[in-house]
Amino acid sequence: MSVFEELRSVRSAKSQGKRDNKAAFFFLLPWLLGVVLITAGPMLASLWLSFTNYNLIQTPDFIGVQNYVRMFNDPRLLNSLRVTFEYVFVSVPIQLVVALAAALVLDKGMRALPFYRSVFYLPSLLGSSVAVAILWRQIFGQGGLVNQALGLVGLHNLPGWISDPQFALGTIILLNVWTFGAPMIIFLAGLRQIPDMYYEAASIDGAGRWKRFLRITLPMLSPIIFFNVILQLIGAFQSFTQAFIVSGGTGGPSDSTMFYTLYLYQQGFNQFDMGYASAMAWLLFIIIAIITAVTFVTSKYWVFYDN
C-alpha cells in the first residue's frame, strides 16, 4: 500500500485487541520528541515568525500580515514563483512520460532488463549531487560538451545555454528529466502486477496493442501514476541544489533560474530576513498542500482502484 492509500484507509481502521500504551510510548519516544522538537514546534514557531520582522539579532518585532502583503508586491518573488511553476509543470510531466515509456519497453520479457534498469536508475541517485550540477554547468556552457558535439555536426556560434535567460531553465528541466529512473522502477513494479489474463482476454476480443494500452494498462496503472505524480510534484517544488550550482547561487541569468527555494535561501540566510523567509516557507507549504489536495480530489475521476 502506498502512503496515499494508507491515508485513505487509516480513517476506517478499527483498533482491536488489548492496548499497550506504555510499551508504545517507549517505542515511540524518539519519534515523539522529533515531532515536538523538530517538526511541530518549529512549524508553529515559523508560523509566528512569519508575522514578525526578525533578523536573528534583535528580538522579533510583530508586524501583522506585512510579510504576506510584501510577498505579493515583490516582483522577484512573483518571478521565482513563475520560474518554479514552469519548472515543475514542464519537467514532471515529461519525466513521467519518459519513465512510463521506458518501463513499457522494458516490461515485456525484455532481455537484459536488470542491466537497462540499473543504467537508467543510476542518474536518479546522482542527480541531486553538486557534482552533477557542476557537470551540467560545463556541459551547457559556452564551450561545453553540448556545443562541442554540435560543432562536430557543423553548428557553430551557439549560445552558452546556461548563460542565456531563454534556455537556462531548460537545462535544469532536462536535468530533472534525466532522473526518470526512480519513477520508472515504480512503473515497472506496477506493470508486473497487471494480470496477464486481462491482456489475453482483450486479444481474444480483437483489441490491438494501442487499445490494450488505453483500456487495460493505463487504468490498471493509474494508482501508480497518481503516486508518482504526487511524489514528483512535491519533490520538484523543493528543488534547490541544481539551480543553486548552475547559477552560482544567484538564480541568474536575469533571475531565469531563481527557484522559489533559492530566493527563500537568499532572503533567510544571506539577508537574514527570517520573518520574510518564514512567510515564504508557509506560502510554499500552502501551495504544495493545495496542489496535492487538488490532485487527490481529481484522482477519483481518473484513478481506478481494482477492488
Partner 1 sequence: MTTETATRALTVPANGRNRAQRDASRGIKRSAWSIAKHVIMIALALLMLYPLLWMVVSSLRPNSEIFTNPSIIPDSFQVQNYATGWNALSDPFSLYLGNSIIIVIGAILGNLFACSLAAYAFARLEFRFKRLAFTIMLLTIMLPFQVTLVPQYIMFSFVHMLNTFWPLILPKVLGTDSFFIFLMVQFIRAIPRELDEAARIDGCGHPRIFFRVILPLMTPALATTTIFTFIWMWNEFFGPIVYLTQPHTWTVQVALGQFIDNQTGGDWGALFAMSVVSLIPVFLAFLIGQRFLIRGIATTGIK
Binding to partner 1, residues 10-49 (CB under 8 A)? 10-11, 13, 15-21, 23-25, 27-31, 33-35, 37-39, 41-43, 45-46, 49
Is the Cβ of residue 24 or residue 69 nearer to partner 1 in the bound state?
Answer: 24
| Minimum distance, C-beta of residue 280 to partner 1, in the bound complex (Å) | 8
Closest to 55 measured CA to CA, from 296, 278, 250: 278
Closest to 94 measured CA to CA, from 166, 178, 161: 178
Q: Is 111 in the site for partner 1 (CB under 8 A)?
A: yes
| Minimum distance, C-beta of residue 138 to partner 1, in the bound complex (Å) | 6
Q: Is 252 in the site for partner 1 (CB under 8 A)?
A: no
| Minimum distance, C-beta of residue 233 to partner 1, in the bound complex (Å) | 10
Selected binder of partner 1 within 172, 224, 236, 243 (CB under 8 A) = 224
- Contacts of partner 1 in 181-210 (CB under 8 A): 181-183, 185-186, 188-190, 192-193, 196
Neighbours of 21 (CB within 10 A): 7
Four-point Cα dihedral 2, 8, 10, 12, nearest 10: -140
Determine contact, residues 54/286, Cβ cutoff 8 Å: no
- Contacts of partner 1 in 58-87 (CB under 8 A): none
Is the Cβ of residue 133 or residue 169 nearer to partner 1 in the bound state?
Answer: 133
